[in-house]
Structure 1
Amino acid sequence: MLGWATLTLLATGSGCGTPAETAAPATRDVGTEQRALAAATLRVTLQTWSNHYLVADKGGGADLMAYSTVPQDWETFTLTDTNGGSLVSGDVVTLQSISGQYGSAINGGGGAIRFTATSPQSWEQFTITKLNGTGAIGAGDKFSLRTVVTGQYVSATNAGGSTVNASGASAREWETFTLGVLGSGGGNGTDPDFGPNVFVFDPSMSMATIQGQLNTVFNRMEKNHFGNERYAYFFKPGAYNLDVQIGFYMSAIGLGQSPDNVTITGSVRTNANWFQGNATQNFWRGMENLSVVPTLDGNKMVWAVSQATTMRRVHVKGSINLWDSAWNNAWSSGGFIADSQIDNVINSGTQQQFLTRNTRLNNWQGQNWNMVFVGDEQAPSGTWPNQVYTVVDTTPVIREKPYLFVDDAGKFAVKVPSLRTNSKGTTWSTGTTPGAVLSIDQFHIARADRDTTTTLNAALSAGKHLLITPGIYHLSGALQVNNPNTVILGMGLATLIPDYGTAAMNIADVDGVSVAGVLFDAGVTNSPVLITMGSAKNSVSHAANPSALFDVSCRVGGAAVGKATSCLTVNSNHVLLDNIWLWRADHGSGVGWDTNKSINGITVNGDNVSAYGLFVEHFEGYQTLWNGNGGRVYFYQSEIPYDVPNQASWTHDGVKGYASYKVANSVTSHDARGLGIYSVFWNPVILENAIETPSNANVKFQHMITVFLGSTGGAAINHIINGTGNAVTNQNMVSKSSY
């Protein structure tokens, strides 16, 4: 298939009578025909008597067909009942493709069904009838579709294999279809409407059916490096036997109050088959709040990931490999695990660097350049630099990322975990994670197909939290987060793009804001900054209730031309940064020194800001500029820009290049541990110092490494920090310092 063509089957009311079987009108009376389309949805396939699947050919704009024997991209439908309950025999429905076009029975019936309509009127309405009984229609049921204008039945010619039209006189074999339920998008009478790109699975559903849908989405997303699709899987509490493969812009999320409430036997995994074992570009994906019993890949879970990935609140009831061991030379460059438990061996393999935080590790094996362990139980031991392990016994201050769950009454809610100081291990090992519970009705559930900057800001202004469903949101201005304790929770790497040179989000200098699971993408018009936290530096303390960013990424270029002078500016005090990747793209579309312009990744002006897992890469000036006191960074990963055209373009104040990590001369206290800074230069240029700091006893750096990854002759990083540390060149490729 050449495109992703999910169809939306939307119920527009209950059909109480039989449509008049008359000739199609010559003209269409649309005055009162269009009805409001609510969004209670199920994801389904529609299969003919001969086992062919209905297909929205070309993803819309063409005829409905029935030639597929495997349900893949274009064969997936979304079934929606606007009555807020189960779909029942007699409901009136419409078919909509992912392109937004509706399936029309041309002339009201008697001919082709074509996806060309932009709104659901009379030609686009069909009555659904259950053929193997009465009442609600569910997985495995037989049904027919009839036009509401002429009463003719939707018919798969020759029972499938070619065209579909609306000319059947009665519901015979060619007019009979079988419903395959692939997952719920909410709206089953209890669940919220999370839209068509969220699949809500229940253990009572057929495992084969769920597996078919998982395979369909993964086949689309495995190589979809810079695509527009976004997906999230929700697993309600219970036991599943599945192989859940995670590709780009995909998240697998358990809905239990503990990770052990959802158990997947098989695997939840990400490999690097799409890139011949090289997982260094396995970005933008995650798994949360579930347990896994690995029975594949030699009974080991494979989590071969790099930047912008997350594993949170996961219990691996076995062993895990952090690289794709099925391939030789299978590099990986991640990653992040927090609030999790690994029962057996965790093998880092070829991972270049990794951070685990507040995790029970049991048996860590492997090392490469920079492995950091903060607040972990059973962290590995070793002496730097022979073992590149940086172990911080307890996590000074943290609260975990908010998460969605289903409560004891079966209602959706969001838990906001409590702040912890000097913590070790998980939040859930002795029971439910402590914290505040927000009911789902306190959230505005955002949809990319209907929300705008105006509607999102109106919801925020009214005191609503935001749950941002998977999709790409184009913004005409910045989202303004002004209320304390606001939760903004993205799903499936929901993406915000400011189209007109504004910020994407401004967070006021207030307590307790959480922004989690969002990708901020620079627009073609330069934004001075994509995210701000606090409008200006001040002395206001937020120590008791800090604001935080969790699993947040910023991207400049890659998907398209993008420009942003800086990605993130932190002016507020006591902010928590937990797994942040700021990336000026080095590959993809819209990439070049003068194309995806961006000077700095992050500027920190606030005091007592803590970062656990800070990844900053390829910016044209300082990657990280730290101006506030009391800063704390545990794990830092940075590649300096590849594409510096010449030394003259990258020199300031007589200094060659811009340090990756710059602490301002005015800073009197800072603590950074476990830093890896790597170089690839396409032209012969020099970086004098990877790190620059003031000379002050309370500005402390521990365990630093620079690595030469391959460059044009004459390129080098001369020093690790402040004129000390050996140079890295094509003769000396690794340099380490304890400072």
Structure 2
Amino acid sequence: MNSAISRFSSPLVRKDRRLSGVLLVAGLLALGACGQQPVTDSRGVTVNAAATAGQDLGAHVTVFNPGMPVSQIQAVLDAAYTRQVNNEMGTDRYAFLFMPGTYGTDTQPLQVKVGYYTEIAGLGQAPDDVVINGKVEVYNRCLGADGASNCLALVNFWRTLSNLTVQVNGAGQDGCRASANFWAVSQAVSMRRVNIRGGNLSLMDYCTAGPQYASGGFLADSRAGTVINGSQQQWLTRNSVIGNWSNGVWNQVFAGVVGAPSETNFPAEPYTTLDTTPVSREKPYLFVDPQGAYQVRVPAARTHTRGTSWAGGPTAGKTVPLSDFFVARPSDAAQTINTQLARGRHLLLTPGVYNLDQSLAVKRAGTVVLGLGHATLTAVGGSTPLKVADVPGVIIAGVTLDAGTVESPVLLQVGSKNGNNGSKKQDPADPTTLSDVYFRVGGPHVGKADVALQVNSDHVLIDHTWVWRADHGVEGFSGDTERWQTNTGRHGVVVNGDHVTATGLFVEHFQQDNTVWNGEDGTTVLYQNELPYDPPTQADWMNGSALGWAGYKVDDAVTTHRLYGGGVYVFNQNNPSIQTESGFVVPVTPGVRLHHVMTVNLSAGTIRHVVNGVGAAATSEPGHIGVPVYLPEFP
């Protein structure tokens, strides 16, 4: 292992709040597939790359093919990174797609750096169809005045890497940078269907100056050798194959992972390991068939799985031609999109911001809504941007939902709140699935939503979401008290349906119980929560006579519920005297089980107990900041 790894800092105390500047950038003109060099996928099938040139995926989608000079591809990607590396609250969205083939050479590797709202994805049918000989990386942002100090990854949000192989090649980089492929990220970042070969995968950027903190992460359906967790406070790895995992910080969860570390020494080693994933469905992905036509592979739902979906051949599921999709642009009105959905078409959202004064209504079973380049649906006039009917098999993937300046009752509603007049339509083998669906209340502008995500249907799978009431942004607030009174959000997630599973549930900063679970037989695999930073007084943070609200609340009437690997963090920076009674509040009944849960103080405020008045306090007293308080089991 590289000697730099021994410099792991203690875990972070909080996300940095000084990132208020935004670099507004111009759009990058897309390059169509060009060059006539034959392209061969992993099966030896020649793909007609030029045929895709006439299939328009929008101005902010760039399609590369291996006939293009490496220097040209590098220049396009470098220009995008320059625009997006600091564009945290901007409106630009980009997708860079790679036709099957190899990019970069041993002496001229393709070394990609990924900024905000950027998706990097292969267009092969298998991850090995697209090989990046080089790197695909995310580095710390250095926030010191000199541009080389106070380096961390705490707000490295909103970026995506999928469906390709990285043959790690650090040629031309310094010795530290050449030691690994760096993926120093935090919430709302996914790595799926990726094969890392020939080098380490580091989830921490240890090559910049300290403190090098990182906070989040999700890896699924992927393969890697040594994974350096480093300073990552919490991380979910699902249905993957790894050679070695270097360390843990607070909350590292593995589900269905070949090579996962044992949880035997918990909490000294903060690992939570499930041999299989209870319910899983991989995210749909775009690929190009041998005739050069775009297709969307829609993976099937599976139960009790382990390892990658593509190890033994094509991922199980169905293929839907892109011609069955309405390819939407941000300029399209909600009524136009709804007309296409009502005609039975699926929906591909090209990169950009869609301002919606009425709901996009998904009413047909089996509809796929797939976003490219972090396509964003923004509520206008208090709308609910997206509603899904009580039908099975709907898939929402790669979409961000933003609250607007007028309060929305909910940003994404799955199923009608009070159910249908008749029995609900459901199929346990074909759950409605949310994959890489993210939410914001505030940040780029004032945001107001009563509830961000409301799940009313039964048999729903939430596979990686970050539900965020913004703790920082560019709204122009004079301080935290104004933020508390203006950027309003009561609950992040409310689950009313039964048999709902969440794999990778990240919910932060809401003003009452952050997650409320009312449905029966629910399961969560990794939960991460930060309580709000900004309550002005204890009176503003009271649940009746109880001190504060929970990070995770299971309703008293629930008889069966499971949580594996959960953390609730506190940082009451607006008023450090504020107290919260318990991080988790659940009914005490044999069928409700919490496995490996914890609280931690990030430097201000107090959580008095972990669960239901049980467990020691997470305080800001000397020696306690950043030190988790664990309960291995409850009850």
TM range (shorter): 0.7 to 0.9
Question: In structure 1, what is the equivalent of residue 188 of structure 2?
Answer: 308
> C-alpha displacement at 1:427, in angstroms?
0.5
Decide whether the 8 Å contact of 1:396 with 1:421 is kept in 2: yes
The one-letter code sitting in structure 2 at the alignment partner of 1:348 is N
> C-alpha displacement at 1:421, in angstroms?
1.0
Decide whether the 8 Å contact of 2:27 with 2:60 is kept in 1: no
User: 1:635/1:3 Cα in 2 relative to 1: closer, same or farther (>3 Å)?
Assistant: closer
Decide whether the 8 Å contact of 2:24 with 2:87 is kept in 1: no
Question: In structure 1, what is the equivalent of residue 167 of structure 2?
Answer: 293
User: 1:653/1:7 Cα in 2 relative to 1: closer, same or farther (>3 Å)?
Assistant: closer
Cα distance in 2 for residues equivalent to 1:5 and 1:737: 49
The answer to whether residue 444 in structure 2 is matched with residue 577 in structure 1 is no
> C-alpha displacement at 1:187, in angstroms?
9.3
The one-letter code sitting in structure 2 at the alignment partner of 1:725 is G
Cα distance in 2 for residues equivalent to 1:472 and 1:213: 22
The one-letter code sitting in structure 2 at the alignment partner of 1:581 is W
Indicate which of 278, 283, 299 corresponds to 2:152.
278
The Cα RMSD (Å) is: 1.9
Question: In structure 2, what is the equivalent of residue 413 of structure 1?
Answer: 295
Decide whether the 8 Å contact of 2:23 with 2:86 is kept in 1: no
Please give the secondary structure, in 1, of the residue aligned with 2:178: coil
> C-alpha displacement at 1:383, in angstroms?
1.5
Question: In structure 1, what is the equivalent of residue 549 of structure 2?
Answer: 658
User: 1:389/1:409 Cα in 2 relative to 1: closer, same or farther (>3 Å)?
Assistant: same
Decide whether the 8 Å contact of 1:583 with 1:618 is kept in 2: yes
Cα distance in 2 for residues equivalent to 1:652 and 1:2: 40
Decide whether the 8 Å contact of 2:451 with 2:491 is kept in 1: yes
Question: In structure 2, what is the equivalent of residue 167 of structure 1?
Answer: none
Indicate which of 27, 35, 56 corresponds to 1:193.
56
Question: In structure 1, what is the equivalent of residue 485 of structure 2?
Answer: 594
Question: In structure 2, what is the equivalent of residue 529 of structure 1?
Answer: 410
Decide whether the 8 Å contact of 2:52 with 2:292 is kept in 1: no
Decide whether the 8 Å contact of 1:223 with 1:274 is kept in 2: no
The answer to whether residue 306 in structure 2 is matched with residue 430 in structure 1 is no
Indicate which of 87, 107, 119 corresponds to 1:224.
87
Within 5 A, what are the aligned runs for 1:148-227? 190-227=53-90
Cα distance in 1 for residues equivalent to 2:460 and 2:282: 13
Indicate which of 331, 338, 347 corresponds to 1:466.
347
Please give the secondary structure, in 2, of the residue aligned with 1:730: coil
Cα distance in 2 for residues equivalent to 1:735 and 1:2: 39
Decide whether the 8 Å contact of 1:191 with 1:411 is kept in 2: no
User: 1:652/1:420 Cα in 2 relative to 1: closer, same or farther (>3 Å)?
Assistant: same
Cα distance in 2 for residues equivalent to 1:7 and 1:413: 25
The one-letter code sitting in structure 1 at the alignment partner of 2:31 is L
Scaled by the length of structure 1, the TM-score of the pair is 0.75
Please give the secondary structure, in 1, of the residue aligned with 2:242: coil
- Which string of whole-angstrom CA distances, capped at 9 and with x for unpartnered residues, describes residues 383-420 of structure 1? 21111000011011111111100112221100001111
Cα distance in 1 for residues equivalent to 2:544 and 2:25: 52
- Which string of whole-angstrom CA distances, capped at 9 and with x for unpartnered residues, describes residues 449-477 of structure 1? x3111111111111111110110010110
Question: In structure 2, what is the equivalent of residue 452 of structure 1?
Answer: 333
- Which string of whole-angstrom CA distances, capped at 9 and with x for unpartnered residues, describes residues 32-69 of structure 1? xxxxxxxxx636xxxxxxxxxxxxxxxxxxxxxxxxxx
Indicate which of 259, 263, 268 corresponds to 1:378.
259
Report % sequence identity: 43
> C-alpha displacement at 1:362, in angstroms?
1.2
Question: In structure 1, what is the equivalent of residue 6 of structure 2?
Answer: none
Q: Which has the higher contact order (CA 8 A, sep 6+)?
A: 2
Question: In structure 1, what is the equivalent of residue 586 of structure 2?
Answer: 693
Structure 2, unmatched stretches of 5+, are: 1-21, 38-48, 105-109, 144-149, 171-176, 478-482
Count of matched residue pairs = 565
Question: In structure 2, what is the equivalent of residue 716 of structure 1?
Answer: 606
Question: In structure 2, what is the equivalent of residue 649 of structure 1?
Answer: 540
Question: In structure 2, what is the equivalent of residue 503 of structure 1?
Answer: 384
The answer to whether residue 222 in structure 2 is matched with residue 340 in structure 1 is yes
Decide whether the 8 Å contact of 1:537 with 1:606 is kept in 2: no
Structure showing greater Rg? 1
Cα distance in 2 for residues equivalent to 1:418 and 1:499: 34
- Which string of whole-angstrom CA distances, capped at 9 and with x for unpartnered residues, describes residues 183-214 of structure 1? xxx99665421111100000001110110010
> C-alpha displacement at 1:298, in angstroms?
2.2
Question: In structure 1, what is the equivalent of residue 17 of structure 2?
Answer: none
The one-letter code sitting in structure 1 at the alignment partner of 2:253 is V
Deviates more, 1:201-210 or 1:322-331: 322-331
The one-letter code sitting in structure 1 at the alignment partner of 2:631 is S
Please give the secondary structure, in 2, of the residue aligned with 1:457: helix
User: 1:496/1:274 Cα in 2 relative to 1: closer, same or farther (>3 Å)?
Assistant: farther
Decide whether the 8 Å contact of 1:247 with 1:270 is kept in 2: yes
Structure 1, unmatched stretches of 5+, are: 9-40, 44-84, 87-136, 140-185
> C-alpha displacement at 1:536, in angstroms?
2.9
- Which string of whole-angstrom CA distances, capped at 9 and with x for unpartnered residues, describes residues 302-328 of structure 1? 000000000000000031100111123
User: 1:289/1:536 Cα in 2 relative to 1: closer, same or farther (>3 Å)?
Assistant: same
Cα distance in 2 for residues equivalent to 1:421 and 1:619: 32
The one-letter code sitting in structure 1 at the alignment partner of 2:181 is M
> C-alpha displacement at 1:542, in angstroms?
2.5
Cα distance in 2 for residues equivalent to 1:354 and 1:499: 34
